[in-house]
A = this chain, B = another copy of it.
Amino acid sequence: MAEKVTPRSKDYSQWYLDIVQHAGLAENSDVRGCMVIKPHGYAIWERMQRALDRLFKDTGHVNAYFPLFIPKSFLAKEEEMAEGFAKECAVVTHYRLKAEKGKGLIVDPEARLEEELVVRPTSETIIWNTYRNWIQSYRDLPLLINQWCNVVRWEMRTRLFLRTAEFLWQEGHTAHATQKEAEDEALMILMDCYRKFAEEWMAMPVLTGPKTEGQKFPGAVYTLCIEAMMQDKKALQAGTSHFLGQNFAKAFDVTFQDQEGKREHAWATSWGVSTRLVGGLIMTHSDDHGLVLPPRLAPIHVVIVPIFRKPEEKQATCAAAQQLADGLRGLPVDPWYGYEPIQVKIDDRDQHQPGFKFNEWELKGVPIRVELGPKDLEKNACVLARRDLPGKEAKLFGVPLAEAPAKIAVMLKEMQTALFDRARKFRDDNTHEIDSYDNFKKKIDEPGGFFLAHWDGTRETEDRVSAETKATIRCIPFNRAKEAGQCMVTGRPSAGRVVFAKAY
């Protein structure tokens, strides 16, 4: 725990890995590209799941579970999907090992599968193959189903949380009787679930809007996205919601009888967010001292550090700490935290000094630290420190113990708001309109950021920018100004500005 975090200014990539390691969030496993999500990292993911799951259920969705394995032929049925995912699939070819003398365990050649199975990279195909039996009439629609599971995409260059061969996610798959209903669903998920979760829980401001043709999901008619800016000014695609049209209904022959008795193909959406969000959370708020967590997603909200030297001091400060913890846990359950009591930890370890403990809990991102020493106790008071504020500004001295629980509850909400405001200001300060491609090429690396530029709407131009600068179009923002103009690259007409940036 004494290890130092590399400052962001020195090496942003190493800073990120240091946070992930020293805060105990995740590590690489001995299986290529697969990570181990450690307890503190998993606790954050659990809180994310809990909040998202409630948003999905409150908007009428139910959970289900579909098989891990997808027959190779299913993947082949939707052409764009086959092309998009075939190159990165883990393939199961056998169902048995056997012991062979001198060789240990070998794959039993007699246990070869008739048809190879792919470990799901995404589940549209297996789910729509199932929906064929579930959907007969318009009365069976809409079907609003979500699944929490693991998926595998054989990535060659991986990075903890942000890009791993196996990751955890949720994937929603809905079926509708009309195009409009499906399009409304894709938009509702984006705005009322993903945007809301990103901004109100993660305190991470996001742009919303469609992706370009070049950036859309294989098999989608169009893809909507939430897009965030990290502290190195690069973009992170944080969630996507796809309108799939009738592509999968046609590939898997899913039809229903409508109110007039005609048979129609069902309309589809799919949408997902993943453990990548943990990476986004880290890169939005954390600092050179360690993790900074928005209170609504913090596994521990408050750590109380009793300060003592002599045994009688330990007894007194620990008793006061316990009383304060009880007071906090006894606050009315507030849905704001996800329908659970405030989580409090007392750090009464003997073998470490207070300074060591303060550093450790800062590294782990606990929002509020309470310091409680013999002198505080004499005054029936304590010291409160907020994780996101710098130096002395973070500390509040002489807070009466009786008032501390209510005060802490207020500070947690203030901190949540402050984190969001700071992140939004950072994004806005680093978002620039730009009209000259030469200028763009100069600025995309330094200072970097989001660049609002006119674009002629062609794949060709997008590919050229990407090849020449490594920047891509992140999204066509819903809320962009109605402003016609000329493409910064070709000078051809443009209907409005799009967002260019380098991305994770």
Which residues from chain A sit less than 8 Å from chain B, CB to CB?
A: 29-31, 34-39, 42-43, 45-46, 62-76, 82-83, 86-99, 104-105, 107, 116-119, 126, 129-130, 139, 145, 149-150, 152, 154, 166, 168, 333, 339-340, 351
Contact of A119 among B62, B65, B92, B118 (CB under 8 A): B92
Are the C-beta atoms of B36 and A71 separated by less than 8 Å? Answer: no
Return 24 A-B CB contacts under 8 Å, by A number. Answer: A29-B126, A30-B71, A30-B129, A31-B67, A34-B68, A36-B65, A36-B66, A38-B64, A39-B145, A42-B62, A43-B63, A69-B166, A76-B105, A82-B99, A82-B105, A86-B98, A89-B96, A90-B94, A91-B92, A91-B97, A91-B107, A92-B119, A95-B154, A139-B351
Assembled-state Cα–Cα distance A76/B107 (Å): 12
Contact of A67 among B29, B67, B94 (CB under 8 A): B29
Assembled-state Cα–Cα distance A107/B93 (Å): 9
Dominant SS among interface residues on chain A? mixed
CB distance from A112 to the nearest CB of B (A): 10
Copy tally for this chain in the complex stands at 2
Are the C-beta atoms of A31 and B89 separated by less than 8 Å? Answer: no
Are the C-beta atoms of A93 and B91 separated by less than 8 Å? Answer: yes
Q: Closest 9 CB pairs between A and B?
A: A34-B67, A37-B65, A39-B62, A86-B97, A91-B94, A95-B154, A31-B67, A93-B93, A76-B105
CB distance from A478 to the nearest CB of B (A): 32
User: Which partner residue on chain B sits nearest A130 by CB separation?
Assistant: B36
Q: A34 and B69 in contact (CB under 8 A), knowing A62-B39, A93-B93?
A: yes
Residue picked from A37, A38, A67, A126, most chain B C-beta under 10 Å: A67
Contact of A72 among B39, B67, B70, B105 (CB under 8 A): B105
Contact of A91 among B74, B89, B95, B104 (CB under 8 A): B95
Are the C-beta atoms of A73 and B150 separated by less than 8 Å? Answer: no
Q: A90 and B95 in contact (CB under 8 A), knowing A42-B64, A63-B46, A82-B105?
A: yes
CB distance from A147 to the nearest CB of B (A): 9
Residue picked from A76, A89, A150, most chain B C-beta under 10 Å: A89
User: Which partner residue on chain B sits nearest A39 by CB separation?
Assistant: B62
